Amino acid sequence: MTNSFTVECARQGDISVLAVNGFLDAHTAPRFEKSIQEEVDAGRMRLIVDCAGLTYISSAGLGVFMSFVEDLRDKGGDIKICGLADEVYQVFDILGFPALFDIVPDRQAAIDKFCEPDGKEI
């Protein structure tokens, strides 16, 4: 079960939507990291991580968000997070993520956030 983690990538204009499903922990975080790295390498700096299918996230999983967001923002991009289930949101909340990231209910709201002039900064 802990191995069951998938990332599906879709494009919406110049925004990449990464839909994550299952358990994001120390075992599966490298896969998530690789997916984001691929987007960054391809020059796509505006990312939405759709966590609707995410059932569990550990600190290692949260670390992946941290490892990219600064660089992305430097390059004019960002990571927006959407679709968090309540119990997963609590984990983000304990760590203080809502102060660092735009966390919105769904993809459309995340896309809208990209259209707003200024996002959050580290």
Partner 1 sequence: MRRLVFPLLIALAGIASLALLFPRFDPAASLHAAMSRSQAIARTRQLAAANGLHSESWKAVAADSLLTPKGPYEMHVSLIAPRRGGTFQAAWHADGNLAWTKLPGAAAPRSAGSIHIDTEAGPQNRSRVQVSTRDPGSSRDRLTYLALRILDTLWRILVLAFFVVAAFRRRLRYRVALILTAMLTVWAIVSYVGSTSLDRGRLVKASVDRMLDEGNFDIDVNVGGAGRPNEVSPPSAVFWIFIVAAAGVSVRGAENHQKWHAVDLLTRRKLFNLPVGSAVATGLLCGIGIAAIPYWVAASGVFRGSVLVFRSVEALTAPFPTAVAWDLAPAVIAIMVFGFWLPVTARWRPPVLRWGFFVPVGVVSVAYTSAAFSTPGANLFTGTLLFAAFLLLYWKTDVLAAMTAMVAANAVLTPWILLSQPGGSVKALAIPILMTWGLLLAASLRAAGRGQRGEELAVTPVLLDSVEEGNTKTGRVRLEAEFEVARKAQEDALPPAPPVIEGYTIAGSCEPAQQVGGDLYDYFSLADGRLGIAVADVSGKGVPAALYMMVTKGLLAATTRESSDLAYIFQHVNRHLYAVCKKKVFVTLTAVALDPAARRLQHARAGHNPILWRRPGRGETVVLKPPGLGMGMTAGDRFQRILKVEELELESGDAVVLYSDGITEAMNEELQLFGEQRLIRAVESVDGKTAEESRTAILRELAAFTNGTPPRDDVTLVVLRVSGNGMLI
Q: Catalog residues that contact partner 1 under the rule CB under 8 A.
A: 1-4, 6, 25-27, 29, 33, 52-53, 55-56, 58-60, 62-64, 66-68, 70-71, 83, 85-88, 91, 94-96, 99-100, 106, 121-122
Q: Residue 96 Cβ, how far from partner 1 at the closest point, in Å?
A: 4
To the nearest whole angstrom, how small is the minimum distance from the Cβ of residue 113 to partner 1?
18
Instruction: Give the bridge partners for 50, in sequence order.
Output: 19, 82
Of the pair 6, 14, the CB lying nearest partner 1 is at 6
**Cα–Cα distance between 74 and 76 in angstroms, integer?**
6
Cα 81 from Cα 104, distance rounded (Å): 6
Smallest gap from residue 114 Cβ to partner 1 (A): 21
- b/e map 61-86, b = 16+ CB within 10 Å: bbebbeebbeebbeeebbbbbbbbee
